Amino acid sequence: MSMSETETYEIRIQGRLAERWSSWFDGMEITALGDGCTLIHGQVTDQAALYGLIQKVRDLGLPLLSVTNTRTGATS
CATH assignment of the domain containing 45: 3.30.70
Determine the Cα–Cα distance for residues 27 and 42; give it in Å rounded to an integer: 8
Residue 15's closest CA among 39, 33, 36, 30?
36
Which structural domain, as residue segments, surrounds residue 32? 7-75
Question: Rounded distance, CA 51 to CA 33, Å?
Answer: 23
- Amino acid, single-letter form, for residue 64: L
Is 1 within the bounds of a domain? Answer: no
Q: Count of domains in the chain? A: 1
Contact 25, 40 (CB under 8 A): yes
- List average pLDDT for each run of 10 residues in the chain, which is 76 residues long: 71 94 94 96 94 95 95 64
**pTM for the structure as a whole:** 0.84
